[in-house]
Amino acid sequence: MSDAAMTRPIAVGAIDTRAVGWWAMWFLVFTEASLFAYLLFSYYYFASQAQTIGDFPPGGPPSITLAAPDTVILLLSSVAVSWGQFNIKHSHNRRLLFGLGLGAILGIIFLVVQYFEWSEKTFNISSHAYGSLYFTITGFHMAHVFVGVLILIWLFIWSWRGYFNRVRYAHIHIGALYWHFVDVVWLFIFFTFYITPRLT
């Protein structure tokens, strides 16, 4: 490596995808994705034992009346956050604030709808294996959405204080990465609980 290569000007601090936090968040996402993979593995393990444990899910596939629109809401929140991320790269702080705020509100709406979905269920976590799986897996996901909403709120506060601009926005990208993960993983959960029982 030549001396000249070593002495050209380079960026200082937490910059875009060169921030170590961005890399760390990717690996946190990998480990969280594994966690959900093991959760869903447990679901399918039980589903594969249906001949010994009876109807799975008991009473047929769950209704998608609430879950399907809720999925759309969650995806829209990712779109809103992405839009904010795109805009801070051009130092449009207000648009960033709008994207983060809208993302957080949609996330909260998702949680509220999930609450109604939960309260409609005729079984609880200790009723049977399916109930244990349903409430544990969606509960895990809701906890993640809740943390994600908190992250969006803090990013909103920090953006409000004018901490970020078109160069220094690593926090936004790192937090948003988590939020997108939480949204994408919901698609797998939705597919598992609401679609696969209809496929057989």
Partner 1 sequence: MADIYERAPRFAAEDYESSWADKLKKIWEGEPGLYGWISTVDHKKLGIRYLVTAFVFLIIGGIEALIFRLQLSVPNAHILTPEQYDQLFSEHGITMIFLYALPVLTGFSVYIWPLLLGARDLALPRLNAFTYWVFLLAGIFMYVGLAQGAGANDGWFNYVPYAERQFNGGPNIDYYALGMIFLGISTTGASINFVVTFLRLRAPGMSINRVPIMIWGTLTSSAANILAVPSVSLAFFLLWLDRNYGTHFFNVDSSGQPLLWQHLFWMFAHPWVYVIVLPAMGIVSDALPVFCRRPLVGYAAVALATVATMVLGFGVWVHHMFATGLAPAALAYFSAASLIIAIPSAISVFAWLATIWTGRPVTTTAFYFFAGFVLLFVIGGVSGFMTASVPADWQFTDTYFVVAHIHYVLIGINVFPVVGGIYFWFPKMTGRLMNERLGKWNFWIMFIGFNLGFFPMHISGLLGMPRRVYTYSANEGWTALNMITTIGSYIFAFGILLLLINIFISRRRGRLAGPNPWDAGTLEWSTPSPPPPYNFAVIPTVASRHPLWEDRLGEPGRTFENKGLLLDHGKETIGTDPLDATPNVILKMPEDTPTPLVLSLAMMAFFFGMLVHSWAVMIVSLLVIGGSVVVWLWPRPELGETAEPADV
Residues lying near partner 1 in the complex (CB under 8 A)? 1, 3, 5-15, 18, 20-21, 23-24, 27-28, 30-32, 34-35, 38-39, 41-42, 45-46, 49, 52-54, 125-126, 128-129, 131-133, 136, 150, 154, 158, 162-165, 167-168, 170-171
Q: How far is the CB of 188 from partner 1 (least distance, A)?
A: 15
Which is closer to partner 1, CB of 31 or CB of 122? Answer: 31
Quote the least distance from Cβ 65 to partner 1, whole Å: 26
Nearer to partner 1, 21 or 197 (CB): 21
Residue matched to tokens 């990712």: 78
Q: Which is nearer to partner 1, 15 or 76 (CB)?
A: 15
Q: In angstroms, give the least distance from the CB of 163 to partner 1.
A: 4
CB of 143 to partner 1, least distance (A): 11
DSSP secondary structure, 71-99, as one string: HHHHHHHHHHHHHHHHHHTTT-HHHHHHH
Q: Cα separation of 107 and 91, whole Å?
A: 25
* Maximum separation of any 2 CA atoms in the chain, in Å: 72
Angle at 34 between CA 197 and CA 110, to 5 degrees: 60
**Closer CB to partner 1, 46 or 98, in the complex:** 46
Helix axes 20-48, 129-160, angle to 10 degrees: 160
CA 85 from chain centre, in angstroms, equals: 16
Residue 169 or 186: the one with the smaller Cβ distance to partner 1 is 169
In the complex, minimum distance from the CB of residue 164 to partner 1, in angstroms, rounded to a whole number: 6
Q: Which two tokens stand for residue 20?
A: 């170590």
Write the CA distances from 21 to 4, 17, 151, integer angstroms.
29, 9, 14
